[in-house]
Structure 1
Amino acid sequence: MDRWAGMSAIRTSGDGALAARALHHLGRRHDRFVVARVLHGQVHIAQVGLEPGAEVEIGSVSKAVTGLLFDDSRRRGETSDDTPLGDLLPVAKTPVARVTLGELATHRSGLPRLAKGTASVRATLDLWRHGTNPYGETLEEVLEAARATPVGRKRPSYSNLGFMLLGHSVAAAAGLTYAELLQQRIAEPLGLLATTVPATAAELRPAAVTGTSRRGTVMSPWVGEALGPAGGIRSTSDDLGRLVRALLDGSAPGMGALEPVQRLSGGVRIGAAWLVLEHRGAVVTWHNGGTGGFRSILALNRDAGAGVALVSATARSVDSAGFALLAECVAAADGTVAADG
């Protein structure tokens, strides 16, 4: 018997079968989430415990979007893998100025996860104690910290700082802010009407959802001008479905970002932010994310024309559920399992 046989007690909207399968894979500790599934161009979405149009934090899936913007910038001739940060941001004559955009995009810049001395480092304790946002810096505040940050050995090492600098560099090359770049080159062309990158809590819209920690503590929204390219984007199930469809049909700007160019670790390869691995005999292109109150994943089986985006408003991993939903979607298309389980 399905452990979610009592699902009728939970408020759902959208595709009921998709909601049921997501609930099945997530388990009882995820009672507020949005999910989108795409197969051969057909988009299905659902909300569980949230209203239609609910806006959620996609966390580090924002890095994957920044990867698209970087590849689009390369194609426009505005930047290249070899472009140094010092050519685009005011960090000249400091070690970080020599770091290239290609190194940032593949987490091989030698930069630490966060710049030393930023509020993000100092606020970590307050995050876990009180649910406060550790990423409220302006771009100038992060640039000041980056100027004083040493650059280590050029080896694979995940860096939020690196993607903050990458996104703002690409925006500077276009003469735009990151928020403007996102709107003009991703959101507007793809019809992502509710996808935004708020710099302050005051910029949140009424549909913005508040997330919770694993223990149920209400968490402050993760907003900040500097944070945007690395983890500050908000979206909805509708917009995530449109994004997944565009990634599968190749109409999304910057599709070259999905092509792996380096090995990150183990069997995982990386393009411009996008990760590629083999799962259950299939090649999956993906990125996940997490903020104080949300967990997210966007995963694609490009060969099968299938993709899933899943965001939960609680800080518990959704990775295994996302991969399971993707595999199930492909199996359903092959006729080996019923689409509704």
Structure 2
Amino acid sequence: MTAAIHGDKRLAARLGELLGMRHPVAAAAAVSPQGMTVAGRGADLDADFEIGSIAKAVTGLLYAEALARDEIGPDTTLGDLLPFGDAPAARVTLHSLSTHRSGLPSLPKSARPWRRTIALWRHGINPYGQDLEQLLDQARGVAVGKPQSRYSNFGFELLGHALAHAAGTTYAELVHRRIATPLELDCFYVPGTADQLRPGALTGRSRRGQPRQPWTGEGFGPAGGVRASITSMARFTAAVLDGSAPGVAALDPVAPFGVGARIGAAWITIKVKDRPITWHNGGTGGFRSWLGLDRGTGTGVVFLSATAAPIDRHGFSLLAEYSNNNGR
């Protein structure tokens, strides 16, 4: 069966060529100085996908914006904003969280990550359903390691909620107030529970095609709980590229991050054929996402898929095609 095509037919055809039959429900957007193009295969342009850890890039923007508003400072700690008492996590700075150098684990042992993973593999169960109070309880008991580069979902969960507290609101409302509303993103939101999903929200599937529960949870939102349509992601990408999005200083790398990479506030920059590419990807139980920017040519690409199979190399390929067409 041929997937229904929506939006730009040329981009839809390229999307199909790159992703193939492993990704029957997918969408793409390309942004360049010539304009914006969006396409979907098997889903219309307003269908909302889980964007996974691209939510961290959103939280990075909110971090840089909070600095610009003087709501926080470069030395602000979690304990300055959240009720941690004398717990070790209270001394962790927001800056270290924003660059994955806080010493916090990816997930705390008290969250039983292996049990969560097994439940996901066997039954497709959402492993991130805790509310904010449960998240804070976990943080009060966690040990803090050496401040070295270590990717941490847990760290970004705490960072986002600390930023929301500094602004006197919730993380979901902060995203709505500072990202979705000013950038006119019609479908860009943070559902705390499954019953907060928009009507017709897509169901993600495993690599083998098995349905997966939506990854919702108040605690999880800042690390991976944003949902968005491809149309909204295109507008988001355009705003980040042209500087009209809040907190775009987050894109500027400030620290090393693994081999050959540097990181700003969540946003990763690497060299691809001597071009600096700024990017982030995402993965949940049933979705994959990728967003990449060639800031030198004013070009950006987004891929969203409702299947949990890799798409990163295809995102880099499509970005290279558009960047070459808008060469220096």
* TM value normalised by structure 1: 0.94
Amino acid at match of 2:303: L
Aligned residue number for residue 286 of structure 1: 279
93, 100, 116: which one pairs with 1:107? 100
| 1:117-156 pair list within 5 angstroms | 117-118=110-111, 121-156=114-149
**Post-superposition offset of 1:120:** 5.1
How many residue pairs are counted as aligned between the two chains? 328
CA shift in 2, pair 1:127/1:330, >3 Å:
same
Asked if the contact 2:299/2:326 (under 8 Å) is kept, the reply is: no
Secondary structure in structure 2 of the residue aligned to 1:297: strand
Amino acid at match of 1:197: V
Asked if the contact 1:295/1:318 (under 8 Å) is kept, the reply is: yes
Asked if the contact 1:119/1:136 (under 8 Å) is kept, the reply is: no
Secondary structure in structure 1 of the residue aligned to 2:129: coil
| Corresponding position: 1:58 with 2:55 | no
CA shift in 2, pair 1:121/1:308, >3 Å:
same
Asked if the contact 2:302/2:315 (under 8 Å) is kept, the reply is: yes
Secondary structure in structure 1 of the residue aligned to 2:61: helix
CA RMSD of aligned residues (A): 1.3
Aligned residue number for residue 177 of structure 1: 170
Secondary structure in structure 1 of the residue aligned to 2:102: coil
Aligned residue number for residue 218 of structure 1: 211
**Post-superposition offset of 1:53:** 0.7
Aligned residue number for residue 199 of structure 1: 192
Deviation by residue 1:9-33 (Cα, 9 ceiling, x = unmatched):
3211001111111221222211111
Deviation by residue 1:186-222 (Cα, 9 ceiling, x = unmatched):
1100001110100000000113100101111100000
| 1:292-303 pair list within 5 angstroms | 292-303=285-296
Aligned residue number for residue 15 of structure 1: 8
- Give distance in 1, aligned partners of 2:315 and 2:73: 33
- Give distance in 2, aligned partners of 1:218 and 1:316: 13
Asked if the contact 1:306/1:329 (under 8 Å) is kept, the reply is: yes
Determine what percentage of the aligned residue pairs are the same residue: 51
Deviation by residue 1:282-315 (Cα, 9 ceiling, x = unmatched):
1100000100000101100000010001111100
| Corresponding position: 1:259 with 2:252 | yes
33, 40, 47: which one pairs with 2:33? 40
Amino acid at match of 2:155: G
- Give distance in 1, aligned partners of 2:321 and 2:194: 38
Aligned residue number for residue 87 of structure 1: 80
CA shift in 2, pair 1:142/1:45, >3 Å:
same
Secondary structure in structure 2 of the residue aligned to 1:9: coil
- Give distance in 1, aligned partners of 2:265 and 2:155: 12
**Post-superposition offset of 1:81:** 2.6
Secondary structure in structure 1 of the residue aligned to 2:121: helix
Structure 1: state its 5+ residue gaps: 1-7, 336-341
**Post-superposition offset of 1:122:** 3.1
Asked if the contact 1:34/1:310 (under 8 Å) is kept, the reply is: yes
Amino acid at match of 2:104: L
Asked if the contact 1:119/1:137 (under 8 Å) is kept, the reply is: no
- Give distance in 1, aligned partners of 2:94 and 2:44: 39
CA shift in 2, pair 1:119/1:223, >3 Å:
farther
Amino acid at match of 2:17: H
Secondary structure in structure 2 of the residue aligned to 1:175: coil
Amino acid at match of 2:322: C
* TM value normalised by structure 2: 0.98
Secondary structure in structure 2 of the residue aligned to 1:283: strand
- Give distance in 2, aligned partners of 1:121 and 1:115: 11
Aligned residue number for residue 222 of structure 2: 229
**Post-superposition offset of 1:121:** 5.0
- Give distance in 1, aligned partners of 2:212 and 2:116: 13
Secondary structure in structure 1 of the residue aligned to 2:300: strand
